[in-house]
Amino acid sequence: MKKGLMIALMVLMTMVAAPSVQAGILPPFELTSDHCTGGCGAAGTIFGTVALLQNGTTVDLTVHLNSPYEFAKTGAADDQAFKFNATGVVVGDITVNQTVPGQTLAADAGAFNGDGTGNFGFGIICTTCGGGLSSAFSNDIVFHVASATIADLTAPNNLGNVFVADIGNTTTGNTGPVDSTGPGTPVPVPATMLLLGSGLVGLAGLRRKFKK
């Protein structure tokens, strides 16, 4: 009996010592603050989301807009479809998926501070799009930042904004920036806790077996 329990305890200790495969889940950032001329939506509208995934030493980002909103190109957002900041990153670290047929998306860098949303150093620009909603698109913007962490990309700027998207309401025609004003709250989901629970169940079963 003692030998069996000792083996079970050793297995359990190995499980607890195993590295967590998922230390937490970062929920998408919601684009909710409306700076559009005339307003792009009612109070409380979620215009879209920004999802971030740490993929090794690269951060993958997906910017999604909810209907009826589409990406626009206006001076209010420095002609950038999407703006963000990044610590220790240069524009060459950023690669952009070509998700919009017939158009070209590219990483951009500069002093972007249009329409009172604060200072940003990087953007994703549609280099071939016309102004306003003339070349509006609803396809997700997907890009990747090498040699970076999520923390490098989610520090609020001088006005407390983390991300900005340049959008238009295709129903009303109103355009302008919308922003996310703070990072998401991590939800702890450590894999070691799941392993610990499984180990305790197994230990209880062994104990019952040796008691017979």
Low-confidence ranges of the chain (pLDDT < 50): 1, 5, 7-24, 185, 187-201, 203-204, 206-207, 210
Give the pLDDT confidence score for residue 183 in this predicted structure.
53
Give the pLDDT confidence score for residue 4 in this predicted structure.
52
Q: What is the pLDDT of residues 49-85, one digit of tens each?
A: 999 999 999 999 999 999 999 999 999 999 999 999 9
What pTM was estimated for this model as a whole? 0.77
Give the pLDDT confidence score for residue 27 in this predicted structure.
86
Q: What is the DSSP string of the chain?
A: -HHHHHHHHHHHHHHHHSPPS-S-B-PPEEE-EE--TT-SS-TT---EEEEEEEETTEEEEEEEE-TTEEEEE-GGGTT-SEEE--TT--GGGEEE---STT--EEEEEEEE-GGGS--EEEEEEETTPPSEEEEEE-SPEEEEESS--HHHH----TTS--EEEEEEETTT--EEEEEE-SPPPPB---HHHHHHHHHHHHHHHHHHHHH-
